[in-house]
Amino acid sequence: KELKKLAREGYWAVSHALRAQVYHHLIQQVACRLVTPDALVYRDVASRLFGKLSVSSHPLPEFLEGCSMPTYCLNLAGVTALKKILICVGNLFPDITYSPILPSLVALLLHYSKDEAQCFENISRLIASNAPHTSYIDQSFLAHQASCMTFGDLANKHCPAAHKLIASTSENVFEVYSEWLSWLFQDLPFNYAIRVFDVYLLEGQKVLYRIALALLKQYRLSVTSTEVERTDIKANLQAFVQNIAEHMTVDKLLERAFGIRLFSRKEIWLLQMANRKALMERGITMSQSRQSFHLAVDMQNFSSSIVTAQEMRIIWSWIPERFSLFSPLLLFSTSEDGCSLQRFYTCCEGYEPTVLLIKTTEGEVCGAFLSSDWSERKKSGATSGFFGTGECFVFTVRPNTERYEWVFIKKPELAKAVPRSCQRSRSPSPMFHLRSSPDERGTSSNHLTVPVPQRKSRLSPFLAIRHFLLPSKTASMFMSGSREGIIIGGGGGQALSLDANLLWGHTEHCETFDNPPLCQENFQVQLLEVWGFQ
């Protein structure tokens, strides 16, 4: 904790020698694979590879194809050392297939290494790190894309104003977010980037997400919608980061970053793993190098009786990145399938997640993103228990467009970590708990749990019910279904409830989403649609 405080406050920024000493000490403490090349190995490999030949006679590793090479004020000898280290990394780590962040990290480390051999040893330890739920350097296109998707998910939740602006002005939101690491280790000026590196060495990748989110928040405060409409938002963001000194000091940037409350490192790791799994389902492999593909959904052929293609694009920008890889598929419509709850269940079961859209007879449009398969309702037996995860949310489309997420997205500090010693009870009532360090002991009998099925195809481990202990049992009532009707959101009220004929509904404030009524409180359904993911 003391080291973190010193790093965040820039304690060793005042002394080059102190920072160099700290870097070497911290990296030597990183848990890594047993056989990790060190300074001696570097000297041996470098003399064998280069001998009397110049570095220019050796091509850079294939994993750097298309990547930029920031040099951070290195002189000619420094740039030569940078290239030699990268070539040796390519030689000794053949499993690396894509790593755009690597040149920047090596360039920064070179400034604080006694020689290139020590720099190589230190970067090798970061590459070979095997600490649980921690990653320093993505080493494949798959891992890099998953990190970009994870940042997109976090931006969606923690920077809604910036996300809304980007979604409304960019054809491909993911393409904008795929530059997030470049903002930190390419576009930020050296005196900012090195302070980011200070905290990154201590706290891992989670801290990078925080700082990039802080940059995104500040960007939204610094630009107007009309400015962005007239420019390329990707280039605009890059220029903003390059000129960050005009907007905030590095101390203020870090202060804002650490003011953003994210979920635990493990929870973010689970999200990253889910994103990797979705990419693999799209055919992205560990071994392939960079590939350009369009993740935005083509809405030209989209047709709904409730929302326009543009409105669906907005809803699609809210859903987790790993699901937005897939095109919308109409599963159920009252206009085609009739007003039958049983038919609703039959059509929707087997699909996870789904988007529910409702149009009332007054012309209002609202709905919900539902993370779990409706067949989960059967696991409660005779009782109608709640299920789902913290990725569920409710929204309005007309007359106003607004999203209401799980209340603990905004206040993750209220969701306590669950001890590993906790045994899951078989209660049908929903509850959240998040596994943490094994030294946390004891549970409250007031905290109930719900069993979650383990299925190979499941892509929703992030914010899963079994991960959290909450102060209130009513703050995680996501979705429930019975023969009498369906309920979305509970605790002090229901965000949405529909009767067995899917003709009449009710909406009010609920504790799970902290939402206002989504339309007129008692409403008649004109049309209802459920969309899945193809």
Q: Where are the domains positioned within the chain?
A: 1-128, 141-282, 324-411+465-533
pLDDT at 427 over 50: no
CATH homologous superfamily for 141-282? Ypt/Rab-GAP domain of gyp1p, domain 3 (1.10.472.80)
Q: What angle do CA 323, 325, 330 make, to 5 degrees?
A: 70
d(CA 279, CA 476): 29
Mean pLDDT, rounded, for 499-519: 94
Give residue-wise pLDDT tens across range 126-182.
999 988 777 799 999 899 999 999 999 999 989 998 998 888 888 788 889 999 999
Mean pLDDT, rounded, for 315-322: 87
d(CA 347, CA 370): 15
pLDDT at 224 (0 to 100):
74
d(CA 376, CA 479): 10
**Strand 393-398, strand 365-370: pairing:** antiparallel
Residue 506, classed as helix, strand or coil, is: strand
Residue 380 vs residue 115, higher pLDDT: 115
- To the nearest 10 degrees (0 to 180), the angle between helices 76-92 and 102-110 is 130
pLDDT at 413 over 80: no
If pLDDT is split at 50, 70 and 90, which confidence band does 239 have?
A: very high
- To the nearest 10 degrees (0 to 180), the angle between helices 116-127 and 76-92 is 40
Residue 274 vs residue 51, higher pLDDT: 274
pLDDT at 385 (0 to 100):
83
Percent over 90 (pLDDT), the chain: 51
d(CA 166, CA 185): 22
Give residue-wise pLDDT tens across range 189-209.
999 999 999 999 988 889 999
Q: How many Cβ atoms from other residues are within 10 Å of residue 186's Cβ?
A: 21
Please, what is the average pLDDT of the chain? 83
Contacts of 494 (CB under 8 A, 6+ apart): 487, 488, 506, 507, 508, 510
pLDDT at 523 (0 to 100):
96
Under 8 Å between Cβ of 30 and 129: yes
pLDDT at 457 over 70: no
pLDDT at 184 (0 to 100):
96
- Looking at residue 372, the DSSP 8-state letter turns out to be S
d(CA 425, CA 450): 7
If pLDDT is split at 50, 70 and 90, which confidence band does 115 have?
A: very high
d(CA 486, CA 508): 14
- Per DSSP, helices labelled H in 204-352 are 205-222, 225-229, 233-242, 250-258, 265-281, 309-318, 334-337, 341-348
pLDDT at 509 over 50: yes
Mean pLDDT, rounded, for 180-188: 95
pLDDT at 288 (0 to 100):
55
For 7-21, 283-297, 419-433, which range has the lowest pLDDT when averaged over its residues? 419-433
Q: How many Cβ atoms from other residues are within 10 Å of residue 417's Cβ?
A: 18
d(CA 479, CA 477): 6
pLDDT at 506 (0 to 100):
96
pLDDT at 444 over 60: no
pLDDT at 17 (0 to 100):
94
pTM, full prediction = 0.81
The residue among 35, 75, 261 whose CA lies nearest residue 157 is 261
Quick one: which H or E segment has residue 107?
helix 102-110
Residue 470 vs residue 2, higher pLDDT: 2
Question: DSSP for 29-82?
Answer: TS-B-SS---HHHHHHHHHHHHTTS-GGGSPPPGGGTT-----TT--HHHHHHH
Residue 284 vs residue 7, higher pLDDT: 7
pLDDT at 390 over 90: no
Q: Which two tokens stand for residue 98?
A: 């894509």
pLDDT at 132 (0 to 100):
76
Mean pLDDT, rounded, for 500-511: 94
If pLDDT is split at 50, 70 and 90, which confidence band does 491 have?
A: confident
